[in-house]
Amino acid sequence: FPYHYFELWLLSIINKIAINYSAAIILQYFVYVFFKTWIVIGIVGILRELKIVSRWAIPVVIAAIFFPVEIALQHIETGWGIYFSIWLRPNFLTYLFVFIPFVLFIVREKYIEAICCLLLLPIISTVTAPAIFTTITFVILFFKWFNFIENRINS
């Protein structure tokens, strides 16, 4: 049955193959590590596209991913705790599989492809559907209002 956490889909597939391991072990030590590795590769790819890559790029990206942002935010937030860390909320990792190509399309000024890429997010996580569809509708109306789409297509 469809479920809004994409990592559980992958876990289910791997669990059918590796039946000698518990689902918790596969999730923690294979699925999340697999996702984190591809996220780092994707972010470094965007940095290469922006020509920001240096010998410090990979260590800086890894440090940024593992930095506990919520500790710094505790001093300025007024409500409940916001957990941005992929260690505390690793189910957010799947969102980056859409946002990394989205950013890459924006960097390359391919806005139509970026919008299409963003439409994949509700497939990965159905809870994002209302926000994504509303945002894309307003962005398309904004582009249409200022004839931005036609100018991009005709050029």
Q: Is the pLDDT of residue 58 over 80?
A: no
More confident residue, 133 or 4: 133
Distance CA 4, CA 106 (A): 26
**Residue scoring higher pLDDT (81 or 38):** 38
Average pLDDT for residues 143-155, to the nearest whole number? 62
Let me know: does 136 contact 111? Beta carbons within 8 Å.
no
CB 5 within 8 A of CB 125: yes
- pLDDT at site 153: 53
Q: Confidence class of residue 102 from pLDDT cuts 50, 70 and 90?
A: very high
28-45 pLDDT, tens digit per residue, is 888 888 888 888 888 888
Given a cut of 90, whether residue 65 has pLDDT beyond it is: no
Indicate if the pLDDT at residue 14 is higher than 60.
yes
82 has a pLDDT exceeding 60: no
Nearest to 61 by CA among 36, 40, 88, 78: 40
Which has more confidence, 124 or 148?
Answer: 124
Rg of the Cα trace of the chain?
Answer: 18
The model's pLDDT over 129-148, given as tens digits with 9 standing for 90+, comes to: 899 999 888 888 887 777 75
Q: In whole angstroms, what is the distance from residue 34 CA to residue 41 CA?
A: 11
pTM: 0.68
Both tokens assigned to 78: 């007024």
